[in-house]
């Protein structure tokens, strides 16, 4: 079996109190994440976000377990730590991609394009889960609940710009409500 070449990584860092560090961290993690960090209260950098952005780049091409193949000069991962030598495992917590989490990620989750793709994937998954739940509810005879799930899926598809799929979900909701037995007279 051929031995995979070892990839050498170069770790760089910049203080968030510097213009470069703040701009680079904003490009990697977005404005929401940087705005959620604590602010320095004293000293020459008063009013700037606390922490250091750190990132690793591949100095040679090869394979990194857990990341896959990388090209020379490619960004591998980045994180925001309290100090300039903070390990990735102790990344600061902030608001990122709509939830509170560690500000650390691989290249596939950094930059706005990747975050937008992840948001679309999450929306699609939510719509598919709603449709699945609708099917289970219909099988169990909970017609109003099933119709509600289809309406939720339709709203998500509308938001994604998929009106055809939204119309299909609304048609299913109407079909299911027609199956619902009428309430007995009082």
**Ranges of each domain in the chain:** 9-107, 116-179
The pLDDT tens digits of the residues spanning 55-86 come to 999 999 888 887 788 889 999 999 999 998 89
Query: Cα(108)–Cα(63) distance, rounded to whole angstroms?
Result: 15
Q: CB–CB of 110/29 below 8 Å?
A: yes
Query: Cα(1)–Cα(39) distance, rounded to whole angstroms?
Result: 52
Q: Is 114 strand, coil or helix?
A: helix
Strands 99-102 and 93-96: what pairing? antiparallel
More confident residue, 61 or 138: 61
Distances in whole angstroms, Cα of residue 28 to Cα of each of 67, 106, 110, 137: 18, 10, 5, 42
pLDDT class for 4, splitting at 50, 70, 90? Answer: low
Q: CB–CB of 97/119 below 8 Å?
A: yes
User: pTM of the full predicted structure?
Assistant: 0.64
pLDDT at 121 (0 to 100): 84
Which residues on neighbouring strands pair with residue 62, listed in sequence order? 70
Is the pLDDT at 20 greater than 90, yes or no? Answer: yes
Dihedral angle, C-alpha 32, 89, 40, 112, nearest 10 °: -20
pLDDT above 90 as % of the chain: 36
pLDDT at 133 (0 to 100): 84
Mean pLDDT of 32-52: 93
Mean pLDDT of 128-146: 82
pLDDT at 182 (0 to 100): 61
pLDDT at 1 (0 to 100): 56
């Amino acid at each position: 079996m051929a031995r995979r070449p070892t990839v050498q990584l170069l770790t760089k860092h910049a203080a968030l109190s510097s213009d470069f560090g703040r701009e680079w961290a904003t490009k990697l993690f977005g404005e929401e994440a940087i705005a959620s960090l604590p602010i320095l209260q004293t000293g020459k950098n008063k009013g700037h976000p606390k922490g250091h952005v750190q990132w690793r780049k591949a100095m040679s091409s090869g394979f990194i377990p857990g990341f896959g193949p990388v090209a020379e000069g490619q960004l591998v991962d980045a994180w925001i730590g309290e100090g300039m030598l903070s390990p990735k495992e102790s990344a600061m917590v902030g608001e990122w991609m709509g939830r509170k989490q560690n500000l650390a990620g691989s290249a596939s989750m950094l930059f706005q394009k990747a975050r937008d793709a992840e948001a679309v994937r999450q929306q699609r998954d939510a719509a598919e889960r709603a449709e699945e739940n609708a099917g289970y509810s219909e099988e169990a005879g909970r017609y109003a609940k099933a119709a509600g799930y289809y309406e939720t899926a339709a709203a998500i598809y509308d938001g994604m710009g998929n009106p055809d799929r939204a119309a299909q979900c609304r048609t299913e909701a109407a079909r299911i409500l027609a199956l619902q037995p009428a309430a007995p007279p009082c």
